[in-house]
A and B are shown apart, each in its own frame.
Chain A
Amino acid sequence: DARVTQTPRHKVTEMGQEVTMRCQPILGHNTVFWYRQTMMQGLELLAYFRNRAPLDDSGMPKDRFSAEMPDATLATLKIQPSEPRDSAVYFCASGLVSRNGYTFGSGTRLTVV
């Protein structure tokens, strides 16, 4: 089965450090999402792209977060500087046609100490 691959699976970092999370969408998928999951807030949409162009990043704190798609096979989410409140699981999802739903990766569990 085709999969969305996220790296790293786990990341522990100190407050103030830069964190980069990567996502390899399923080949041929043109829509990529970034979500953040916490116990308190549930699943929050941070940003999403279609054909590598950002469609909506209104859910993302712009002062420290940035999301890009340098090419069709890679999406990145960066946090600089990181803070303890950024601790969460970050999911990437990709899809081609919205009516088919989207495929999620296994997530990156980020802990900022």
Chain B
Amino acid sequence: AQSVTQLDSQVPVFEEAPVELRCNYSSSVSVYLFWYVQYPNQGLQLLLKYLSGSTLVESINGFEAEFNKSQTSFHLRKPSVHISDTAEYFCAVILSSNTGKLIFGQGTTLQVKP
């Protein structure tokens, strides 16, 4: 069965510091990988996705994630965080088959401190 593990439930970091949010998945078949962000009292927004090709994918607000097939990981990084990045971040996976079932990790709360 496929599953997604986010290794850190909370990540506190100071403003302008770099951050990495870790995500590992388990699947015996190829997958599509996603990161979603949830700001307080809002729904989830798609941040970035990996489908195929280049293993490094980027979002418009400075986040990037790298797909590592051998380590079955899809860690999210940002070289310099802002206060406004404070939110909950969810890693998610879909089997690249016909079901389209989206499975989420437990979420990581990023707390950016001034």
Chain A interface (Cβ within 8 Å of chain B)? 4, 31, 33, 35, 42-43, 45, 48, 50, 55-56, 91, 93, 95, 98-107
Residues of A within 8 A of B101 (CB): 45, 48, 55-56
Q: If A91-B44, A106-B43 touch, does A99 touch B32 (CB 8 Å cutoff)? A: yes
Are A107 and B43 neighbours in the complex by a CB distance under 8 Å? yes
Q: If A43-B90, A43-B107 touch, does A102 touch B43 (CB 8 Å cutoff)? A: no
* Residue in chain A with minimal CB distance to B48: A101
Q: How far is the CB of A88 from chain B (nearest CB, A)?
A: 14
Residues of chain B in range 9-65 having any CB-CB distance to chain A below 8 Å: 32, 34, 36, 42-46, 49, 51
Is B114 in contact with chain A by the CB < 8 A criterion? Answer: no
A94 and B38 CA atoms in complex are apart in Å by 17
Q: If A42-B107, A43-B107 touch, does A55 touch B43 (CB 8 Å cutoff)? A: no
Residues of B within 8 A of A42 (CB): 104-107
Say which one of B66-74, B75-83, B92-100 lies at the interface with A: B92-100
A31 and B94 CA atoms in complex are apart in Å by 13
Are B44 and A104 neighbours in the complex by a CB distance under 8 Å? yes
Q: How far is the CB of A3 from chain B (nearest CB, A)?
A: 10
Is B87 in contact with chain A by the CB < 8 A criterion? Answer: no
Residues of B within 8 A of A33 (CB): 102
Residues of A within 8 A of B34 (CB): 101
Identify B43's interface contact among A45, A50, A100, A105, CB under 8 A. A105
Are A31 and B100 neighbours in the complex by a CB distance under 8 Å? yes
Q: If A42-B107, A48-B101 touch, does A101 touch B49 (CB 8 Å cutoff)? A: yes
Residues of B within 8 A of A107 (CB): 43
A105 and B44 CA atoms in complex are apart in Å by 8
Identify B99's interface contact among A55, A91, A105, CB under 8 A. A55
Are B100 and A104 neighbours in the complex by a CB distance under 8 Å? no
Are B90 and A98 neighbours in the complex by a CB distance under 8 Å? no
